[in-house]
Amino acid sequence: MEILAGGLTNFASGTFFFMFHVFAFATWILWNSGLTPLPAFDPYPFGLLTMIVSLEAIFLSIFVLMSQNREAKIGELREELTLQVNLRIEEEVTKTLHLVAGLYTRLGHTLGEDPDLQEMLRPLDPSRMEREVTAQIHAAIPRLRKEKKAKGAA
């Protein structure tokens, strides 16, 4: 169903679909407006046309939402993969810093009291970072609701 929704969304977003609708609506309105000798089957205010267009809009909206949902899931998987790669790179960089620091001290040098270097030598804690980001999001949500209410009242 998701593949069908994606294909239908791609088709409906094309020039042919647009041009077909322009032609079909113009033909429908001309036929039923009494400007031609053809008998009107849906006189003004074009109730049948309105119903058909409304149903088409409903179904297209559903298919677009299904396609967006599928794309969102794919995006989340890509973001998760990127996060995993970045965490792996961070581990490798930290390990490299440890090896360089070890070589540096074996050569008889002392590591400086650089707080940035000390922070870099500590392993990354993804769980802690996730908790901090989650707390920041929860803290921002009430503020966002207040801003939205203030804009609505203005």
| Reported confidence tier of residue 148, pLDDT bands at 50, 70, 90 | low
pLDDT at 102: 84
In order of 136, 138, 151, the CA distances from 145 in angstroms are 15, 11, 10
The domain segmentation of the chain, as residue ranges, is 2-123, 125-154
Q: In angstroms, rounded to a whole number, what is the distance separating the alpha carbons of residues 70 and 6? A: 9
* pLDDT, tens only, 39-95: 999 988 999 999 999 999 999 899 888 888 888 999 999 999 998 899 889 888 888
Contact (CB, 8 A) for 12 and 60: yes
Question: What's the pTM value of the predicted model, to 2 decimals?
Answer: 0.59
pLDDT at 153: 66
What is the average per-residue pLDDT within 120-135?
83
Q: In angstroms, rounded to a whole number, what is the distance separating the alpha carbons of residues 73 and 76? A: 5
25-34, 44-53, 72-81, 126-135: range with lowest mean pLDDT: 126-135
